[in-house]
Amino acid sequence: NLCLIGKMFLDTKTLYYDVEPFLFYILCEYDSTGYHVAGYYSKEKRSVQGYNLSCIMILPPKQREGYGKLLIEFSYLLSKKEGMPGSPEKPLSDFGLLSYRSYWRRAIYEILLNVSQKTNCAVSIDAISKKTGMTVDDIISTLQTDGMLQRQPGVSNYALVVDAKRIEGYVEKAREKNPRRIDPSKLRWAPFLTKGAAVLEQPKGDDELSAGELSV
């Protein structure tokens, strides 16, 4: 049913009637009358290419409220928990690329801003990947698009050139525009296991959420 709803609003969506290979994460608003679906995203249970998101859809009445970025941020939070950098399924639509470019830029800039405010502190692309859950390719692509990777003269290495005022201004505007953020401490997560896999029994409280859910 979620796929059918998504097909109504996504021209580029391919509809599969076999949804067993996918996990679905549903974003809801909550009020006195209960839960109301605002959007969702899906991902493959076992993605050979390392995709952490297959399809994302926000209902039209709930668009431009920052929910898309919130789901993207959640997908990367799961990637970090899984210990594997992820990337959205390719190719991206034009609107999807814009949304991801915006998210990637903010995530990278927040780390660079934090580093620039410290003395004698360096950062590598691998370190950014571990902190964000993004793939190295997506990080390099974003930095190259913004002209922040420059080849050092006389050598084959590249240097990361950071304009602290520029990234600080961008981060401030991004935080004002999209103040909603994921609180990682609220995540209740367990790795997805296929049938036949060994399961280690762990105590679980009555109030604990099931795997991959988030209470905000």
Q: Which residues, in sequence order, are bridge partners of residue 37? A: 28
33-67 pLDDT, tens digit each: 999 999 999 999 989 999 999 989 899 999 989 99
* Cα separation, 7 vs 157, whole angstroms: 45
Give 74: exposed, middle or buried? Use CB within 10 Å, 0-12, 13-18, 19+.
Answer: buried
- Of the residues 82, 89, 110, 168, which is catalytic? 89
Question: For residue 158, which phi and psi values (nearest 5 degrees)?
Answer: -110, 150
Is 89 one of the annotated active-site residues of the chain? Answer: yes
| pTM, entire model | 0.81
152-193 pLDDT, tens digit each: 777 778 888 888 899 999 999 999 998 989 999 999 888 776
At 73, the pLDDT band (50, 70, 90 cuts) reads: very high
What's the token pair of residue 66?
């920052």
Element (H, E) at 129: helix 125-132
